[in-house]
Amino acid sequence: MCGIVGFVGTENAKERIVDGLKRLEYRGYDSAGIALPIDGKIQIRKHVGEITNLEKIIADDSFDAPVGIGHTRWATHGAPSDINAHPHGNQDDSIAIVHNGIIENYQEIREWLAREYGVQFKSETDSEVIAHLIGIYYDGDLLSAVNKAVEDMRGAYAVCAIAAAEPDKIVAVRKDAPLVAGIGRGCNFIASDIPALLKYVREVYLIENNETVVLTKDDITIYNDRGQKVKRDVFHVNWDADAAEKEGYDHFMIKEIHEQPKGIQETLMRRVDEEGNINLDGIAMTKEDIEGFNKVYIVACGTAYHAGLVGKSLIEKLAKIPVEVDVASEFRYRDPFVDENTLFIAISQSGETLDTLAALREAKAKGARILSVVNVVGSSVARESDDVFYTWAGPEIAVASTKAYTTQLICMYLIALYMGRTKGILSQGEYDRILNELKALPEKVEEILAKEEQLAFLAKKFHHKEHVFFIGRGLDCGVSYEGSLKLKEISYIHSFAIAAGELKHGTIALMDPDSLVVALATQDDLYEKMVSNIVEVTARGARVIGMAKEGRVEIEQVADEAVYIPSCADEVTPVLTVIPLQIFAYYVAKERGCNIDKPKNLAKSVTVE
C-alpha cells in the first residue's frame, strides 16, 4: 500500500526514483509524485493516475537533482487528485515529505497548526500535517525537526523528509510501516520495499520500528528512539531481479500462476530430507512443547486467512489440537483467550500487514509462542516472531495472490505433519502416505495448467454473469472462499462463497437463471451430498460449473460444465482445486477488460487498518 523511494548521490535522482516507483506499482496506487531540492527550494511535481502521467510533467531536463524522494499513493484521507498526491510541502516549500500509513491524530494537529501558526492547508490528507510540523520545528537540523515532529504524531508511518537548506541528505523514520535503506557506491537509497532497489543495490539495512535513519551519499546512520546510533547487520538480497519481470506473459498474475509448481517444490523439498523427515527451518518444537499447547490460533487477513482455514482442518486432524482461525482485524479487539500455552500462527505474504502485526504483538504480550508463515525475508512479522517458517514463492507482484497462497498451504501441511508425527498421534504409515501425496503435487499442478484453454473457454462463456456463488464442503469450503475472492478482486463481479450445507438457510433464495454456481466436489466422503446441492441450485435455474476428481464423470449429469483435477487424497485437494479457480478468475477479468495486476481500490501490502 503506497510506495516510497528516495535517492541521495551525485547525479540523476529523478531517473532512479521513477524506476523504483515503477517497481512498486504492484503495491497499488492512484497517484504519483516526486520532490527534488533545486536552486535553494524544494520543487514538487505530482499527478493523479499512473506513473506515466508523472513522467510527462517531469520530462524537462532542468528538473533533476542528486537528491530526491518519490511516492505512489493509495488514497485513504482525501480522494485521488493532484493536490492530495504526495509529496507534500510546508508553507514555503522548504520542507517536503512522503508518507505511508495513517496519522491518527492528524485532525488535532491540523487544528493546532492553523490556530497557533496560521498554517493554510492545500490538501485533504493526514500526511500534509507532517510537512508543516517539520517546518515549524526546523532550525537548520532536519534530523532534530523530524524527531520533534514524531513526538506529536500518533499512528503508523514511514516518513521520508528533505529540506532545501540541507540538499545533501534524506531523513526517514519508521513506525509500523516498512522501510529499507539500500547501500550503494557513492549513493544510497531508501524505500518501502526491496524490489524498488534491486536494479541498483543488493545490500540493505532493514529499518526497525521506531528507528530514524539519515542518508547522505557516503553514509547511512540509524538511530533508535533514544537518539543512540544503532549498529545493524547488512542484509544481502539474493533474489533474482528478473523474477519481478513478466517474461513474455501478458500479466504478472498468469505468470505467477504458472510458477506454482516450482514454488510448491521449493517450499516442500527444502524441508524434507531423503529419509522423509521434516525440518521446520531449524525451529525447535519438541514433543513436550507441542503437548503443552492447549490451543492454536491462526490469524491472518484475506487470502492468508483462507490458507489458515485449511491449516485448521489439517492441524486438528493430524495433531489433535483445537484450532481457532480469526481475521486479524477482529482478533485485535475481542480480548481473546491467549496465554503461554497458546501457539499463535501468523500468516502473511508481505509480512507487513498491519492488522496481523498488531494481533501478533498482542498475542506475544500475553505469553503466546509466535510462529509466522511469511514470504518476505526480514519483514516485520518475521522479525517479531519467535519462529519463522518461510514460503519459497519468490517475489509476488500481482495484487491478487496466487503462488503465495499455495505455498502457504504447503507450509501448513508441513507444520501439521511435523506436529502430528512428533506428538505421536500420526502413524508412520499415515505420515508417509500424506507426504508422498504432497511430493506428487508439482506434477499434478502442471497437469491442471495444461487445461488452461478449457478454463479460458469457460471464462468467455460466463464472464457476463454479475452474480457468482462458490460452494463446497469440508476442505472444499475453505477453497471456495479463496476462489470467490480471486474472482471479485480482479473482475469486479459480485461473488459469494458459502458452505454448501448452508444453501437452504437463505442463500438458495438468490438462485435463478442469471446465477452462476461454482461447485467444488473433490472430497470423496462428501461427494454425494455435493451432487445433491448441485441439483438443488439447477432446479432453480442456476448454471453450474462442477469440479471433481478425475473419474467422477457422473458430475457431468448434473452440472452444465465439468472441470477435473488429478486423482489424489482428499487431504491435499486444496492445492489442486484452487488452481482452476485462479485461472478462471484471470480469464474472466481479461474478458471484461480489467486491470488484472492492479485492480482498483486494492493494494498488495495493506499497512493501514
- What is the set of active-site residues? 2, 604
Return the amino acid letter for 12: N
Spatial distance between the Cα atoms of 583 and 589, rounded to a whole number of angstroms: 10
Cell 479487539: give the residue: 333
Burial (CB count within 10 angstroms: exposed 0-12, middle 13-18, buried 19+), residue 144: middle
Strands 543-549 and 516-520: parallel
Strands 494-499 and 369-374: unpaired
Q: Is 177 helix (H, G, I), strand (E, B) or coil?
A: coil
- Give the residue among 422, 420, 393, 470 at the shortest CA–CA distance from 571: 420
Q: Is 166 helix (H, G, I), strand (E, B) or coil?
A: strand
CA dihedral 158, 162, 168, 173 (to 10 degrees): -20
Spatial distance between the Cα atoms of 77 and 489, rounded to a whole number of angstroms: 22
Distances (CA, A) of 469 to 284, 303, 485, 495: 43, 17, 11, 6
CA dihedral 335, 339, 345, 348 (to 10 degrees): 40
Q: What are phi and psi of 510, to 5 degrees?
A: -90, -10
Spatial distance between the Cα atoms of 566 and 551, rounded to a whole number of angstroms: 9
Spatial distance between the Cα atoms of 411 and 304, rounded to a whole number of angstroms: 12
Instruction: Name every residue whose Cβ is closer than 8 Å to that of residue 345 and which is 6 or more positions away in sequence.
Output: 296, 297, 298, 299, 308, 311, 371, 372, 373, 415
Distances (CA, A) of 528 to 451, 509, 535, 539: 25, 22, 11, 17
| Grid coordinates given for 211 | 528507528
CA dihedral 145, 149, 150, 153 (to 10 degrees): -170
- Give the residue among 10, 23, 18, 20 at the shortest CA–CA distance from 67: 10
Q: How many CA atoms lie within 13 A of 210 on its CB side?
A: 7
DSSP letter, residue 272: B
Spatial distance between the Cα atoms of 590 and 398, rounded to a whole number of angstroms: 14
Whether 349 contacts 396, CB under 8 Å: yes
Whether 311 contacts 325, CB under 8 Å: yes
CB atoms < 10 A from the CB of 464, how many? 12
- Which helix (H) or strand (E) element contains residue 294? none
Q: In what order do the strands lie in the sheet with 180-183?
A: 41-48, 31-38, 67-73, 3-8, 188-191, 180-183, 203-206, 235-236
Query: Radius of gyration over alpha carbons of the chain, in Å?
Result: 25
